[in-house]
Amino acid sequence: MSTLKSYQLIQKISDLLYVDTNNEAEILSKLKESELQISNALSEDFELLFGNKINFYNSIVYYDDPNFRQGATAIILYATILNDKDSKITFECLIDFNKILVKINKESESGEIAKRIKKAYNIEGLAEFNEFSTIYK
17 contacts 29 by C-beta, under 8 angstroms: no
Residues of the chain with pLDDT under 70: 1-2, 108-110, 134-137
For 77-101, what is each residue's pLDDT tens digit? 999 988 777 788 999 999 989 999 9
- The reported pLDDT for the residue numbered 136 is 43
> Which residue range forms the structural domain that includes residue 102?
5-135
Q: What is the pLDDT of residue 109?
A: 61
Number of domains the chain is built from: 1
Short-list 63, 70, 66, CA closest to 21: 63
Q: Closest by alpha carbon to 6, among 51, 38, 47?
A: 38
As a whole number of angstroms, the distance between CA 90 and CA 71 comes to 19
Q: What is the pLDDT of residue 92?
A: 95
pLDDT of residue 68: 80
